[in-house]
Amino acid sequence: MADGAKPARRERRRAELAERKSEPRVRSDGTVRTLGVAFLVSGAAGLMHEVVWSRLLSHVFGATSLAVATVLAAFMAGLAIGSWVVGSRAPALGDRR
């Protein structure tokens, strides 16, 4: 193989890769719809749990802002811990495009 063929092939390959990276990746409607439903269900479940815990804690603390503050603090702490755990694993997962 001639020496000039390798650089030309490399350049062609680089151009193909650059073209692929510049094209936006479009997910199928089914994937987007499934993700939307999953987010909707998880959000609704979170809100229902907030209401249930708020009602249960109102029996302990009374119907005060302390019960609501406790539920809100626990909910925010759960979000923070989940974000921290997933964020620490994100570099290991890599780019899955």
pLDDT at residue 26, as a whole number: 61
Per-residue pLDDT reduced to its tens digit, 29-69: 788 889 889 999 998 998 898 888 888 888 887 878 888 88
- In this structure, the number of other CB atoms found within 10 A of the CB of residue 49 comes to 14
Residue 97 has pLDDT above 60, yes or no: no
CB 75 within 8 A of CB 54: no
Residue 2 has pLDDT above 60, yes or no: no
Q: At what angle do helices 29-61 and 65-93 cross, to 10 degrees?
A: 150
Per-residue pLDDT reduced to its tens digit, 77-87: 988 998 899 88
pTM beyond 0.85: no
